[in-house]
Amino acid sequence: MKGIDQYASAKDVNWKKMSPRYFPYRLVQKAGQGNALGDVKFVLPNDRSIYLHDTNHPELFERDMRALSSGCIRVEQPTLLAEKIIAGQQGWNRSNIDSAIAQNRTTHIRLHKPVPVYLMYWTTWVDDNGNLQIRDDVYQRDLIGSLARNSQKSLAL
Question: Is 112 part of the annotated catalytic residue set?
Answer: no
Concatenated DSSP letters of the chain: -EETTEE--GGGS-GGG--SS----B--PPSSTT-TT-S-EEE-S-SS--EEE--S-GGGGG-S----SSS-EE-SSHHHHHHHHTTTSTT--HHHHHHHHHTTS------SS---------SEEE-TTS-EEE---TT---HHHHHHHTT------
72 carries an active-site annotation? yes
- Residues known to be catalytic: 53, 72
